[in-house]
Amino acid sequence: MQRTHLPQRLSIVSLGIVLCGCNGIEGIIDSSEEANDVLDFNLADTGQVNCLGNDGAVINCPVAGEDYFGQDAQYSGNPFSFTDNNDGTVSDNITGLMWQQIPDNRGLSYQDAVDYCNDLALAGYSDWRVPSTKELFSLSDFSIGWPYLDTSYFGLAGSVVSKDEQYWTEVYVGSTIAGPDSAAFGVNHGSGHIKAYAADVSGQMGNYVRAVRGDRYGVNQFVNNDDGTITDRATGLMWAQQDSGYGMNWQEALAYATDSTLASYTDWRVPNIKELHSIVDYTHSPSTQNEVDLGPAIDTDFFDITELRDDETVYDKDYGYFWSSTSAYFGSDSQEYYYAWYVAFGTASDGEGNDFHGAGGVRFDTKYQGGALGEGGERYYNYVRLVRDAP
């Protein structure tokens, strides 16, 4: 028997409310995008249902004008919807992709992963491939984390949940400290991160692969509205063409979004981590040696982005980290949500400015100066790019 998983976080458009994991109904917001709308780049929700403060504690979802209003849990999205095909595959009813249910548990180089997928014959199909970063990240479930994956449908490669649950996605056009000559991105089903790894290592230092098949997913269709906004017809989202222009902590970012009246709209918000990741352009990097690919990991034909520097230190130019509205906790042994996820549209750098995780990396930082520090906790003032649902 096939089974379909539909978490209880559904948009009730006719009533103008959303069922979320808030204490009470105040502050709940209808995103106005019906889950049945067919889009070329249909985003699954993050799964996050609790409202959270700077100290990591669950709070009553705030109303407009209160601190922490406008975070991830207060907006609806397409709930995860998977079908177990009972043949070693799982179909994603949101993205239309079919996935290998139980991945190979060997540490592979990136090329080994490509060869493995090309040779894979599973459930009568032979058109398996390595997923793109956006495709694999579509499975990430931020309702709890560690693992950031629904294990009632998907198996893990490792015997325990750890930071080693790293899965190959696509070649990085830049260079990293670990992969100065050859690097490729991966999604970590354990810790939730996206980063670039040395592409030519295997064995204990290699990554896993979860094969996918289906039409390519994650292609944007941007339109310039000539009013300071950009619509992505593929996702149904409208974006601010210009970023905030300055960094701020997470609480300030939420307030900045809800106070905006850009293009006379008053329903701007900080994007959740999947929305923000949807506009990453992995064909560009500030650390590439190819001039045609040089720049931030975003389509600069449509988006303006603040340059952090223009000097001789490491690269000629770099670009900021951008907050999402999605909270995170540091590890599997601690569930305090002191942190929030961000996307690095420039180099995801180490302390010396070197490209460490790769442009387009997804990490998390502490929400405010003086807060609990995690990996890369040196940037608690991050930029914001506003989003809203397109009319």
Other residues' Cβ atoms within 10 Å of the Cβ of residue 112? 19
Residues of the chain with pLDDT under 50: 1-36, 311-315
46: left (phi over 0), alpha (psi -120 to 50) or beta: alpha
* Residue-level pLDDT at 172: 96
pLDDT tens string 5-59: 333 333 222 223 333 333 333 343 443 344 345 578 999 999 999 999 988 889 9
Other residues' Cβ atoms within 10 Å of the Cβ of residue 97? 20
* Residue-level pLDDT at 33: 41
C-alpha 104/C-alpha 99 separation (Å) is 13
By DSSP bridging, strand 222-224 and strand 11-12 are unpaired
Helix boundaries (H) for the chain: 110-119, 133-137, 250-258, 273-277
The residue with tokens 């015997």 is 159
* Residue-level pLDDT at 55: 83
* Residue-level pLDDT at 148: 96
Give the pTM. 0.89
